[in-house]
Chains A and B, each alone.
Chain A
Amino acid sequence: MTDTARPAIADAVRQRLARRHRAEGRFQAFGIGAIVLAITFLVVLLGTILIQASGAFTHYTLTLPVTLEREIADPRGDMSEASLRRGSYNQLIQTSLQTEFPAASSRAELRELFGLYSGLNAASIMRRVVADPSLVGTDIAVTMPVNHEIDLYLKGVTVEESFRAGSGMLTPDGTAGDVMLSGATAVFASAIERIRQQAIEGRDASLARAARLEADAGAAENRDAREAALAAARRARDEAARFDPVIDPETPVTLGPRTASLLVRINGGVVAVSSLDPDGRSAQGRVLLPLQSAAGSREWTEWVIETPSAGRRVTDQQAVYARALEERGMVDRRFNTNLFFNADSREPELAGVLGAFIGSVLTMLVTMLLAVPVGVGTAIYLEEFAPKNRLTGFIEVNINNLAAVPSIVFGLLGLAVFINTFGLPRSAPLVGGMVLALMTLPTVIISSRAALRAVPPSIREAALGVGASRTQAVFQHVLPLAMPGILTGSIIGLAQALGETAPLLMIGMVAFVADAPSLGISGLTQPSTVMPVQVFLWAGASERAFEMRTAAAILVLLTLMILFNAVAIVLRRRFERRW
């Protein structure tokens, strides 16, 4: 403690201190950075899912007046249930639609008309009639979802289109079949301009692709690759050449599957233009919706569907039918109840998560009833009663190892033991629940043991000290104190099981199940699927409409998980408050 030594130490300390503060600041910055990054990812993830799913919560429905004719609804004429079940209800829907569009007569037109909805909807009318046979012979209103492609078109997801008021007088030369539309001035000039512009863009894109492929061919390392690239480039150039007639300003503009469609709404009907005079004064076309008169009119609409018909699943004719029905108030956008109250279906517009939801509830019930009592019981025995010897040590190590076993292995075990040896049914929530219970057990045991170990030994001593038996000490004092921890661990384990797919694939819960299992004991052995598997199945489906439904199903699953965790938190709070 001399005066000379002191300043030196203080300097050294001060220098080190600055370094230590910097290190601390750095660490905090990293921590905050990590949190910000995590939150950003979470927001982006949830945001994408929400945006994707938003389209699935509403859908377009078609409401039709349907006359339940006796001979069609009741083919045997005895009003028995068997007879009513055999009624051709789809035919009744078709008749009603045909009344809406009497001009549709050819096979092709009818196919497109009937393609507006799925024939599976007939089943819902059948159920209504079977439930109330007095409906036979009366008129009923039938509301059903439109075909998923039509739905996506009406939502503006798959098809780009625009409506623009026409300028100048336009006169059709007929009301049906092939017609010619003549204008007093160059009424179609702007439409031609837009179609040409689109064709030029298409051609340029094809040429650019061809050039890129040719460059690839030049750099290709072997002959096969070079020739494949050259062939592809040739195809791209051919494609580009197809746009030339449209672009050429001298020849008539011919519209086809690779160009935009031009529809003209006039006199209450619609004409699909097939070719336009280059001067923009007249157009040839076919009537898709009959005109009320052949009089000239200034009130007409230029309806351009920019997506070429080759690139969409909705034909011009179907677009016309759909828009006409919408105008008549028969097609409108509603909340999609099917998504929540239907089981799975081949048709996206009819598919819902109810079956998977009930399957998940039943599976979780089985898992909970097996994993929680057995797991907590095991934990209590191992922690409070079992002697600490080699055998219990061995068991402990194995339980810890089980927690790290890939979940699909439990699926294999379930297949081999529960299904093949015990002969339990495939695809059943009972077996799914048992498999998931096996998977959840280690988590429940480990977390329950940790919770029991965290109870201060003074509580055990206090209970034993007044003469409680070991069992009394554990069940009356230790267990209640460990309960919040045990509950948290169990619910985390169950939430993990709720989101599990892999082991369920092995026991056949990936099957397509069109009927929701009943919510009861009998449902335990009925084939069903669960929420995450439903997400998996829909994500693999080819229909575009399943894309948004997948996102919606993920949201339902997430909601279920959040509910689960909320229950966990509430339970924990309640138990904690009691002590």
Chain B
Amino acid sequence: MADAAAPNSSTLYHPVRIDQPVKVAAAGVEVFYADKQALHGINLNIHDRSVTAFIGPSGCGKSTFLRCINRMNDTIDTARVFGSIRIDDEEINDRGVDPVLLRARVGMVFQKPNPFPKSIYDNVAYGPRIHGLASGKDELDAVVETSLKKAGLWDEVADRLDQPGNSLSGGQQQRLVIARAIAVNPEVILMDEPCSALDPIATARIEELIDELRENYCLIIVTHSMAQAARVSQMTAFFHLGHLVEYGPTEEIFTNPRDRRTQDYITGRFG
């Protein structure tokens, strides 16, 4: 296993500044795609009930790291993951951990809205159904309703739950996907550039939603928009060329970055 302090790693670790306990703790995470190393010794603590943003130029490894947290990299044949990631002090890379169960605890929202080509109701009910989280129709109806309400979509779709999920607008689809993730009652929600395919109004709506969800969930969001990171997140991590360059409270990263590369990036000099 790669050592946490790899020689070429320039990770700067900020002490915890917010008052929430650590939810996800990564230590020495390295990822290889075939022979190419995509991540170099990532050490990172992510706090519960807060929003953590991953920023960095394309190909810097932020999405790769995000996918390590619910072991989505397992689905890529050539990907190999080393290091330790603990959620609530439980090692998720252990052989004994079932990725299916893990993904029920760690929900994910993708860059492009990807509702199932089924009805709105079935989209939200799918997770609870396969995990057996609701017994009986009434309970399932309740889960669907609360999930859609939490995702702020209920008022718009309450009267057409039987229509296909794809018939919604892009922003609505993304909220539907968030409702789908919430429905299995996860502890952590991963969002991979959730607003990059949306217009500014839909983006604002999602950002509001993210802020609301912070009350109950640990959210991790990958974004290309520094403005978005500044708006929604409490903590920000800057990745560059597979290294975690800087990690700290958002306002500190944006107002007083310690690393030159961070500064260059947030001032738009490269990226």
Q: Chain A interface (Cβ within 8 Å of chain B)? A: 387-388, 456, 458-469, 472, 476-477, 481, 579
Contact = CB atoms under 8 A, between A and B. Distances in A.
Contacts of A462: 110, 114-116, 177, 180
Contacts of A476: 126
Contacts of A468: 100, 126, 130
B8 to A, nearest CB: 31
Interface residues of B, number: 29
B103 A388 contact: no
A465 B131 CA distance: 13
22 contacts: A458-B114, A459-B116, A459-B117, A461-B72, A461-B108, A461-B110, A462-B110, A462-B115, A462-B116, A462-B177, A464-B75, A465-B72, A465-B103, A465-B110, A466-B104, A466-B130, A466-B181, A467-B103, A467-B130, A579-B117, A579-B118, A579-B164
Interface of B: 70, 72, 75, 77, 100-104, 107-110, 112, 114-118, 126-127, 130-131, 164, 177, 180-181, 183-184
A75 B33 CA distance: 91
B103 A466 contact: yes
A388 B77 contact: yes
Contacts, number: 64
Contacts of A461: 72, 75, 108, 110, 114
A27 B116 CA distance: 42
A456 B112 CA distance: 11
A481 to B, nearest CB: 7
A472 B177 contact: no
B126 A466 contact: yes
Chain A interface main SS type: helix
A453 to B, nearest CB: 14
A464 B184 CA distance: 13
A466 B110 contact: no
Contacts of B109: 465
Contacts of B181: 465-466
Contacts of B103: 464-467
A388 B34 CA distance: 12
A462 B184 CA distance: 13
Contacts of B75: 460-461, 464
A463 B115 CA distance: 9
Contacts of A456: 114
A466 B180 contact: yes
A427 B247 CA distance: 77
A466 B72 contact: no
Contacts of A477: 116
B221 to A, nearest CB: 15
A477 B103 CA distance: 17
Contacts of B126: 463, 466, 468, 476
